[in-house]
Amino acid sequence: MDELHELKKAFQEELGTVAGLEDLQKLKAKFSGRKGKVSAHLKKISALPPEKRSQFGSTLNEIKKFIEKEVIQLEASLKAEVQQKRLQTEFLDISLPGRRQLFGREHPINQVLTEAKDIFISMGFDVEDGPEVETDYYNFEALNIPKDHPARDMQDTFYVSEDIVLRTHTSPVQIRVMEKRTPPLRIIAPGKVYRCDADISHTAMFHQIEGLMVDTAIAFSDLKGVLELFIHRLFGKDTPVRFRPSYFPFTEPSAEVDIGCIFCGGSGCRVCKTTGWLEILGAGMVNPKVFEMVGYKIDQYTGFAFGLGIERIAMLKYSIDDIRLFYENDCRFLSQF
Amino acid sequence: MLVSFDWLKDLVDITAGPEEVADMLTLIGLEVEGSEQLEGDIVFDVNVTPNRPDCLSILGVAREVAAAFRRPLTIPETDMNSTLPASDIRIEILDSDLCNRYTGRSITGVTVGDTPEWIRKRLEKCGIRALNNNIVDITNYVLLELGHPLHAFDADKLEGSIIKVAKAGGSRSIVTLDEIERNLSDATLLIWDAKNPVAIAGIMGGANSGVTSGTRNIFLESAHFEPISVRKSAKALSLRTDSSFRFERGTDIIFLENALNRAAMLIQQVAGGVIHRLVDSYPVKPEYTKIDVSIRRVNEYLGTDMEKGEMIDILERLGIEAEDRGDVLNVKPPAFRKDIMVFVDVVEEIARCYHYTNIPVTAPKTTLSEGVISIKEARIRTMKQAIRATGFTEVLNYSFMSPADLDLLGLPEQDIRRQYVTLKNPLRQEESLLRTSLIPSLMHNVVYNLSRGSNRIGLFELSRIFEHRGEQLPREVLTLGGIYLEGRSSFLWKDTVPPFFVVKGALESLFEEMKCEMYEFTPSTEVFLHSGKAADIYFRKERAGFIGELNPHTIEKMNIKIQQPEIIVFELNVDLLLTVIPETIAYKPIPKYPSIERDIALVLSDNLNAVEILRHLEGFHPDLIERVELFDEYRGKNLPENKKSLAFRIVYRAPDRTLTESEIEPLHNELVTFITGKTGGALRGQ
Ligand SMILES: [Zn+2]
């Protein structure tokens, strides 16, 4: 029995010298491992006289449990100590910046274009497309702007040849679509257009969205309804909208649409030239001459068309006073949107 | 058109204030774009649209004001005493299709001198320079007041008491009043005396017959010239005058006589002299349009509910006759409203005077439509989203390029990008061609931003390029272009990925996001790219673009201040990309059984292409090798010269059972033998 006493004593002594988890692991192996001292003593049982076996066995078992308990306890406190130490020594300067995922920006013109497109798409318009280099026929003639008509002065045109131009508006897409589809039609055609004109409010290239709705009973009041809804979605539902007469050869009656000046609230300022109104788009009922050009029966269909300049809307939305900023592509400008 | 409010009040009895009048004009279609206080008067800047030449005068605007406010119009007195001396000038119109009417009056014994201040002031307020030649200034005064251009000849300088109206008929020249010699084409309509041309019809008089301080007798012309002919001549001569501007838009063939009389009376009042009887050649009389307008259709067209009486009232206020025929109005526009020809023109007149603001707001009664984003639109949005997610910011450049841009890229003569579209009238030489590549614009964007202190630059553009293929219209190809320059990192946490692979990775992520799997990168020979760091991009064996570092020689031409910058560019045919994206996604089951992974590191000849080795490995036993990943590339220490080490992870997996180590062991050994044999390489560390 003394040897068991010695065993316990030896364990207790060595336990006192344990400095860390590693020492403890060694101690654990030395005493309670498969080849440890407890196992060694266990093997001796069979060599003992039968009457002593039970006593020896139960004492050894108690020591075994004692060792296990001590090891677990010490292990727990050592682990706690280690964790405590980590918490005390490890730290970050959490004020340092994180590693950001650089997300590129969308050009503000395309942001506005997408917003406008989505509004029309939600109103049931399809998105159509047409060439940027156009024939004189689609850009002018089919839109009731014959050669040598004063209305040609309304747009400064880039010519590729006598009969080929850079489209001056997205309106030719109207013609191309009507040539291949029959009503009902509800389309928009976004894209780049070109005019040979450049100053603080004009660039040689800019963006438009053309719209066209044709059916058997479309009225001017519907044009008002659709455009008012669009403007209210884009600028807020309290924005005043004003329709006034204008002239486009391909619409009759034609209208210019103004919104209440968003800078002065209508009281008059530099931006709205003291009128309280800002011109935002041109529109009108499709001129029957245009229907004749595409072979639609003029007594069967009516419709309206409109065109809006995206740069103008973006300038209003973001209070930008020089249109050329959009095409300088300065990263300090682009990163703001 | 500048309109003096004082002058306007001469012609219409206005009770409203100038501001109210301006607002009203805008509401009925004569937009007042601005107004200016001038010497106690207010001058409106009225935007007169090309369809309304009748409003290019104080009288025209007054007529609209009178209609809108229901106020009486006062047209200046133009009735002439019938007992006037006869004129000795005879008129002969040879081209009556270009001149429907020519009238005139001789005024003898005038004194050319200073113009009275009230006339001068009004001219200047309305934007016409007074010449201090009372005769000429009065013709301009009447042009502004009544809208009809007039011309005064020095009658003593006209040969042979005859005015002929005929085309130039052969090339000849005339010195116009501004002392410039003008070369005329055959078709130019001229005014002639017995021998020589004395004026370009409707555009400008000749210097040889002009009124000067010594002039005693004048012949005053008031005529109607065909608009297109005047416009063509004015355009050909690059000579736009207040007179041609009005003639090319259309003038009033009847009222021209009133304008003539008004001017004659003013001249007599100011310069004295004797007015002679009217000479009038009137070969072509105007035809009047009559339009049947259904009351119901007007209301259907506008979405209104107007009474017939209201429509008649509006038309009559505008000087348009409207005969009530029950459900229909028979409408007859006056001579000065040539723009009213068909039903919708009448609708417009009714609508604008009813005021657009009074027309109801309705929702269209039309077939429902889906309101969905098209597949193409959706894919382009995904693409832009993906390229932005990898750090590229979108730019928009003009579609133009300069001939120098092609040289910047150093493109050879036969390169397709030299098949460009040229503009006939560019704003600047640098913008005279349409882009055949997005790269030059992007290079300019980098130069621009570097010079403004930007550092790390990643830009993309999605725009069309224009390939001139000899057809009528160029081929417009939707193209994605990008440029990347790492610069000094301003980030705390540094990445050390070579820039080429940053950009290649961006494209690979983009392809993955778009579910495009059919792509391939192969070495490129683009001349503006670094020959060792450039790849062509293929979709299903079709070349769709390129990616690569700009050739040092190309970069040198950019003139940027950074030492040996690595600038990566790419360009991709998006139209082609969109054709290789699967229509639908088919789900592949998630593997049920675990995989076994084995790594091998091979020491290989430096010039071997990693993708080829990857393909060999993947193809070795496709049933059991799920995928192979290249996870390390190494050159340098511990390796012989011209060798590199590539490390691959082979993932073995069977779809129908759990693989065992003992099954994989011989297979993997076979693979090692196969790949070392195939590549002439060796396992690293052996
Ligand atoms: Zn304002």
| CA torsion angle A255 A256 A262 A268 (round to 10) | -110
* CA B581/CA B577 separation, integer angstroms: 7
Domains of chain B plus CATH, in order, are: 2-69 (3.30.56.10), 90-281 (3.50.40.10), 291-358 (3.30.56.10), 375-579 (3.30.930.10), 596-683 (3.30.70.380)
pLDDT score of B446 more than 70: yes
Task: Report residue B560's pLDDT band, with 50, 70 and 90 as the boundaries.
Answer: confident
Task: Look over chain A and give the mean of its residue pLDDT values, rounded to a whole number.
Answer: 91
Task: Report residue B82's pLDDT band, with 50, 70 and 90 as the boundaries.
Answer: confident
User: For B33-42, which contacts have Cβ atoms below 8 Å and span 24 or more sequence positions?
Assistant: B33/A273, B34/A273, B38/B4, B38/B125, B39/B121, B39/B125, B41/B4, B41/B5, B41/B6, B41/B125, B42/B4, B42/B5, B42/B18
Chain B partners of A100 at a C-beta cutoff of 8 Å?
A: 491
Which burial class, exposed, middle or buried, applies to B455 when counting CB atoms under 10 A from its CB (0-12, 13-18, 19+)? middle
CB B576 within 8 A of CB B583: no
| CA torsion angle B11 B17 B19 B21 (round to 10) | -40
Cα B403 to ligand 1 centre (Å): 44
Cα A260 to ligand 1 centre (Å): 8
Looking at the DSSP bridge assignments, the partners of residue B38 are B41
Q: What is the β-pairing status of strands B643-652 and B596-605?
A: antiparallel
Choose among A106, A125, A192: nearest Cβ to B394.
A106
Cα A280 to ligand 1 centre (Å): 13
Position B641 scores a pLDDT of 85
Position B166 scores a pLDDT of 95
CB contact under 8 A, A158 and B423: yes
pLDDT score of B371 more than 70: no
Tokens matching residue A100:
């950001």
Task: Report residue B495's pLDDT band, with 50, 70 and 90 as the boundaries.
Answer: confident
CB contact under 8 A, B366 and A135: no
Distance from CA of B486 to the nearest CA of A (A): 13
Residue of B nearest to A107 (CA): B394
CB contact under 8 A, B427 and A196: yes
Look-up of token digits 């201090």: B132
Residue of B nearest to A256 (CA): B29
Contacts with B534 (C-beta within 8 Å, 6 or more apart), sequence order: B523, B524, B525, B526, B546, B547, B548, B549
Distance from CA of A158 to the nearest CA of B (A): 6
Chain A partners of B28 at a C-beta cutoff of 8 Å?
A: 245
Chain A partners of B360 at a C-beta cutoff of 8 Å?
A: 221, 224
Average pLDDT over residues B8-19: 94
User: What confidence tens digit (pLDDT) does each residue in A130-149 have?
Assistant: 999 999 999 999 999 998 88
Position A202 scores a pLDDT of 87
CB contact under 8 A, A104 and B388: yes
Contacts with A7 (C-beta within 8 Å, 6 or more apart), sequence order: A31, A37, A38, A41, A63
Dihedral sign computed on CA atoms, order A304, A309, A310, A315: negative
Nearest CA among B592, B577, B346 for reference residue B481: B577
Choose among A150, A164, A203: nearest Cβ to B248.
A150
Choose among A164, A166, A221: nearest Cβ to B362.
A221
Task: Report residue A1's pLDDT band, with 50, 70 and 90 as the boundaries.
Answer: low
Cα A116 to ligand 1 centre (Å): 23
Position B370 scores a pLDDT of 64
Interface test with A, best of B24, B395, B428, B484 (most A CBs within 10 A): B395
Choose among A106, A151, A254: nearest Cβ to B384.
A106
Choose among B300, B345, B427: nearest Cβ to A252.
B345
Q: What is the β-pairing status of strands B162-167 and B90-93?
A: parallel
* CA A285/CA A148 separation, integer angstroms: 24
Cα A205 to ligand 1 centre (Å): 26
Average pLDDT over residues A160-177: 96
Q: What is the β-pairing status of strands A251-260 and A241-248?
A: antiparallel
User: DSSP 3-state assignment of B36?
Assistant: strand
Task: Report residue A307's pLDDT band, with 50, 70 and 90 as the boundaries.
Answer: very high
Residue of A nearest to B375 (CA): A127
Length of chain B: 686
CB contact under 8 A, A222 and B364: yes
Choose among A109, A122, A249: nearest Cβ to B371.
A122
CB B149 within 8 A of CB B246: yes
Contacts with B34 (C-beta within 8 Å, 6 or more apart), sequence order: A273, B44, B45
User: What confidence tens digit (pLDDT) does each residue in B634-673 have?
Assistant: 888 888 888 999 999 999 999 899 999 898 999 999 999 9
Position A291 scores a pLDDT of 97
Angle between helices A310-318 and A108-122 in degrees, nearest 10: 110
Cα B277 → chain centroid: 52
Query: Cα separations (Å) of B184 from A276, B68, B167, B173, B197?
Result: 49, 45, 10, 5, 11
Average pLDDT over residues A217-235: 96
User: What confidence tens digit (pLDDT) does each residue in B92-110 have?
Assistant: 999 999 999 999 999 999 9
Choose among A121, A122, A219: nearest Cβ to B302.
A219
Nearest CA among B682, B675, B684 for reference residue B615: B675
* CA B30/CA A256 separation, integer angstroms: 11
Q: What is the CA radius of gyration of chain A?
A: 43
> Which 8-state DSSP code applies to residue B287?
P
pLDDT score of B366 more than 80: no
Lowest-pLDDT range of A38-42, A119-123, B643-647, B648-652: A38-42
pLDDT score of B194 more than 90: yes
Looking at the DSSP bridge assignments, the partners of residue B166 are B190
Cα A264 to ligand 1 centre (Å): 4
Query: Cα separations (Å) of A201 from A114, A324, B22?
Result: 22, 8, 24
Which ranges of B515-632 does DSSP label H, i.e. alpha helix?
Answer: 552-558, 574-579, 610-620
- State the Cα angle at B224 between B221 and B228, rounded to 5°: 130
CB A106 within 8 A of CB B384: yes
Contacts with B663 (C-beta within 8 Å, 6 or more apart), sequence order: none
Position B207 scores a pLDDT of 93
Position B489 scores a pLDDT of 67
pLDDT score of B282 more than 90: yes
Chain B partners of A150 at a C-beta cutoff of 8 Å?
A: 50, 227, 231, 248-249
Average pLDDT over residues B427-451: 95
Residue of A nearest to B26 (CA): A244
Task: Look over chain B and give the mean of its residue pLDDT values, rounded to a whole number.
Answer: 93
CB contact under 8 A, A127 and B493: no
Which burial class, exposed, middle or buried, applies to A298 when counting CB atoms under 10 A from its CB (0-12, 13-18, 19+)? middle
Chain B partners of A198 at a C-beta cutoff of 8 Å?
A: 427
Interface test with A, best of B306, B344, B471 (most A CBs within 10 A): B344
Average pLDDT over residues B567-576: 96
* CA B150/CA B143 separation, integer angstroms: 7
Contacts with B220 (C-beta within 8 Å, 6 or more apart), sequence order: B104, B105, B106, B107, B139, B150, B151, B152, B153, B260, B263, B264, B267
Residue type at position B365: K
Which ranges of B355-434 does DSSP label H, i.e. alpha helix?
Answer: 375-389, 403-409
- CATH number given to A108-334: 3.30.930.10
The larger pLDDT score, comparing residue A54 to residue A116, is at A116
CB contact under 8 A, B393 and A331: yes
* CA B677/CA A195 separation, integer angstroms: 65
Distance from CA of B507 to the nearest CA of A (A): 14
A131 close to B (CB below 8 A): yes
Choose among B370, B387, B449: nearest Cβ to A330.
B449
